[in-house]
Amino acid sequence: MSYFLTTQTGFSTVPLDCLQEIFQYLENDIKSLYHCMFVNRTWCRIIISLLWRRPFEYSGPKSTRRYSELVRTYITCLPNNSKKKIYETGYNIHLHPRPLFPYHKYLRELDCEKLDEAVEEWINRFGLEEYRPEDPEEIVYTQLLKLLLSCCEGLWSLRLSRHCDKYYFPPAATFNRIKYTLTNLRKFEFCVDLDCLTERGLDNLYEFLKKLSNISNNLEYINIEMAEDREFLSGDGLRKLIKSQKNLAFFRYDQLQLKPDIEETKEFVKALSHNASTLKNIEFDYLPFNVQCLSSLKKFNNLECMQFAYCYEENISDEIEEIVEHSPSQLKVKKLIFHSGILTSVTLEILRLVNTSVRELTVNNVVPGLFEHIYEHCPNITYLATIISQKTVESLEYLSTSKIEHLMLKTLDDNKDTCLDIKDFQQIGKNLSLNLYHLSFDFNVSVEELLFLLRECRSPLESLCLKFDDDSNKDEYLKVVIEFARKVDSLKEIRFSLDSKKFKDIKAEDIFSKDILAEAKLLIPNILRETQEPFTRINLNSEASL
């Protein structure tokens, strides 16, 4: 920082666009930006525009944030007629000074839920005078939303989200200049509790979604969390928005555990197919599926990851299933994730459709016939994380000649059918692929079970991940692994995790005795604590951030 301050004369000859590019690198360093702001007027103007791109995020954590200050500043930017409407509700705002900068024009990312929280905080802090209308918060919120959507110089990100008991969505489609402020929108999130919307608000919302589908056609990211309204208006508007896109790369649809109709799923998947060539990541949450819903997915030929979280299956007739079975497919995806939920036939059908394209597969549920399907349809899988049971252990034989390099196994501890015995671990060891380099267990394995598995294992393992319970003798595990390491001469790493959260920060030195750990390190260079949870959901949002 001192360098900038002492060489400001040299920086005066730097072009303005270069300065803007330099300060972009400090965008998340608020403290440094504040220091730079006082160097000169040019620097101040650039940094003010950066700080007000997403001011709600820069306000800090909820315990210390000052949302009310943001609202007070935005109110000073309002035109006189809007100020008059707020003043007439009982707020004393006429003494607010005029702003030094047009702060509202710098906004690039708007979260309507945070705006709503800010208005509520401002009301609680400054209060009302004598006159109080029925719902003063909506008046302030509407005027500020109108200011930001009408007068900013172009949003990149918009999140419609409000969770009040009963709320109103203003007629945003009619706001002046909205065509210009939303033309270059790249990220859109729709996280709305539709049951709490007033009828007029629902109509306004539908009109806004229609307007958005006409003017915002370059969205790269769409995230939908909603419960469908009784007239299907918002769902229809969202599907039109999806169909109108040209560069959509990320899509997530969450029905918030409310069990929607299967036809709704089909319609959204069908709408998505208009973006089949551009989509990279798709996530479906809490949705019903059957193989009928997959017809439109067959057009997708460029996916990096497709995830089904907590989805469930609805049966269809054999006649329809046969028609779907013989239709051609272009579905290509590198990573497939089925997180919890129950999608048996849908999982197998998708594996048939993706065929040679899939490289990574996670199935967090027992699916009979899974390994047979992988053997028959998915020969190029190199990463597999799945649940194993007594009923599926023998079918692991189908994977013995596979290309799988990383295998992660889990059991359902509360299901009697999934409990494994010593013979099962012997069978697992025999059936491990000769291409397998990484083996992980996401369940507690006893010393004896591990011993029998590793004695049968012929894989050139380079890493092994084990899970212990709190009471086990950890040294005995390490002795078994040492014996295996001497046999294969390939093991470079052992990772471990403990069943109890109280050992969150524990290290190898804390659970293994000094002598046995020293002996192990002569054969195995790395003995580390496992930090990742293998069967948790993948956060696709971070992959598609803008």
- pLDDT the model gives residue 56: 87
439: left (phi over 0), alpha (psi -120 to 50) or beta: beta
pLDDT, mean of residues 318-325: 44
- pLDDT the model gives residue 322: 43
Residue 136 has pLDDT above 80, yes or no: no
- pLDDT the model gives residue 6: 39
| 34 shares its domain with 94 | no
Helix (H, G, I), strand (E, B) or coil at 388: coil
| 42 shares its domain with 60 | no
- pLDDT the model gives residue 13: 66
- pLDDT the model gives residue 4: 43
| 67 shares its domain with 38 | no
pLDDT, mean of residues 361-381: 93
User: What does the pLDDT look like over 427-447, one tens digit per residue?
Assistant: 999 999 999 999 999 888 889
For residue 219, being part of any structural domain is answered with no
State the Cα–Cα distance between residues 166 and 417, nearest whole angstrom. Answer: 48
Residue 533 has pLDDT above 80, yes or no: no
For residue 363, being part of any structural domain is answered with no
Pairing of strands 303-309, 281-285: parallel
pLDDT band of residue 162 (cuts 50, 70, 90) is confident
pLDDT band of residue 91 (cuts 50, 70, 90) is confident
- pLDDT the model gives residue 511: 85
Residue 396 has pLDDT above 80, yes or no: yes
What would you report as the CA-atom Rg of the chain, rounded to the nearest whole angstrom? 29
| 75 shares its domain with 144 | yes
pLDDT, mean of residues 192-210: 84
User: What does the pLDDT look like over 491-528, one tens digit per residue?
Assistant: 999 998 876 555 566 788 888 899 999 999 999 999 98
CA angle at residue 109 from 106 to 115, to 5 degrees?
95
The answer to which of 99-103, 131-135, 395-399, 475-479 has the lowest mean pLDDT is 131-135
Residue that finishes a domain, picked among 106, 121, 153: 153
Residue 2 has pLDDT above 80, yes or no: no
Instruction: Output the six-digit token pair for 416.
Output: 């009697």
| 62 shares its domain with 99 | yes
Long-range contact list for 531-534, CB < 8 A, 24+ apart?
A: 534/385, 534/408, 534/410, 534/440, 534/442
| 78 shares its domain with 115 | yes
Does 128 or 338 have the greater pLDDT score?
338
For residue 541, being part of any structural domain is answered with no
Residue 49 has pLDDT above 90, yes or no: no
HEC letters along 14-52: CCHHHHHHHHHCCCCCHHHHHHHCCCCHHHHHHHHHHHC
Buried b (16+ CB within 10 A) or exposed e, 241-278: bbebbeebbbbbbbbeeeebebebbbbbbbbbbbbbee
CA distances from 482 to 42, 251, 468, 469, 491 (A): 65, 47, 17, 20, 9
The answer to which of 177-181, 229-233, 430-434, 457-461 has the lowest mean pLDDT is 229-233
- pLDDT the model gives residue 7: 43
CB 387 within 8 Å of CB 412: yes
Neighbours of 64 (CB within 10 A): 7
Residue that finishes a domain, picked among 153, 176, 194: 153
For residue 405, being part of any structural domain is answered with no
CB 309 within 8 Å of CB 285: yes
For residue 308, being part of any structural domain is answered with no
pLDDT, mean of residues 385-394: 90
Helix (H, G, I), strand (E, B) or coil at 77: helix
| 31 shares its domain with 82 | no
User: What does the pLDDT look like over 225-250, one tens digit per residue?
Assistant: 886 554 555 678 889 999 999 999 99
- pLDDT the model gives residue 323: 41
State the Cα–Cα distance between residues 444 and 469, nearest whole angstrom. Answer: 6
User: What does the pLDDT look like over 468-477, one tens digit per residue?
Assistant: 776 678 899 9
Residue 132 has pLDDT above 60, yes or no: no
- pLDDT the model gives residue 87: 80
State the Cα–Cα distance between residues 372 and 107, nearest whole angstrom. Answer: 54
Q: Which residue range(s) make up the domain with 79?
A: 54-153
Among 182-196, 254-268, 274-288, 490-504, top mean pLDDT goes to 274-288
Q: Which helix (H) or strand (E) holds 113?
A: helix 112-126
The answer to which of 53-62, 87-96, 388-397 has the lowest mean pLDDT is 87-96
CA distances from 466 to 74, 190, 404, 450 (A): 55, 41, 19, 9
For residue 48, being part of any structural domain is answered with yes
State the Cα–Cα distance between residues 343 and 341, nearest whole angstrom. Answer: 6
| 63 shares its domain with 106 | yes
HEC letters along 182-249: CCCCCEEEEEECHHHECHHHHHHHHHHHHHHHHHCCCCCEEEEEECCCCCCHHHHHHHHHHHCCCCCC
Residue 12 has pLDDT above 60, yes or no: no
Residue 339 has pLDDT above 80, yes or no: yes
Q: Which helix (H) or strand (E) holds 372?
A: helix 370-377
- pLDDT the model gives residue 285: 92
Residue 544 has pLDDT above 80, yes or no: no
Does 119 or 222 have the greater pLDDT score?
222
Look at the chain and report how many structural domains it folds into: 2
Among 141-155, 257-271, 401-415, 523-537, top mean pLDDT goes to 141-155
| 28 shares its domain with 68 | no
For residue 163, being part of any structural domain is answered with no
State the Cα–Cα distance between residues 492 and 161, nearest whole angstrom. Answer: 49
pTM above 0.75, yes or no: yes
Residue 151 has pLDDT above 50, yes or no: yes
Residue 462 is classified by DSSP as S
Does 301 or 92 have the greater pLDDT score?
301
Does 24 or 420 have the greater pLDDT score?
420
Long-range contact list for 270-277, CB < 8 A, 24+ apart?
A: 270/296, 271/239, 271/240, 271/242, 271/243, 272/242, 272/296, 272/297, 273/297, 273/299, 273/300, 274/242, 274/243, 274/245, 275/242, 275/245, 275/248, 275/251, 276/300, 276/301, 276/302, 276/330, 277/301, 277/302
| 109 shares its domain with 127 | yes
pLDDT band of residue 318 (cuts 50, 70, 90) is very low
| 47 shares its domain with 65 | no
- pLDDT the model gives residue 38: 74
State the Cα–Cα distance between residues 9 and 138, nearest whole angstrom. Answer: 49
- pLDDT the model gives residue 164: 65
Residue 407 has pLDDT above 90, yes or no: yes
Q: What is the mean pLDDT of the chain?
A: 83
For residue 100, being part of any structural domain is answered with yes
Residue 36 has pLDDT above 90, yes or no: no
- pLDDT the model gives residue 149: 94
| 82 shares its domain with 131 | yes
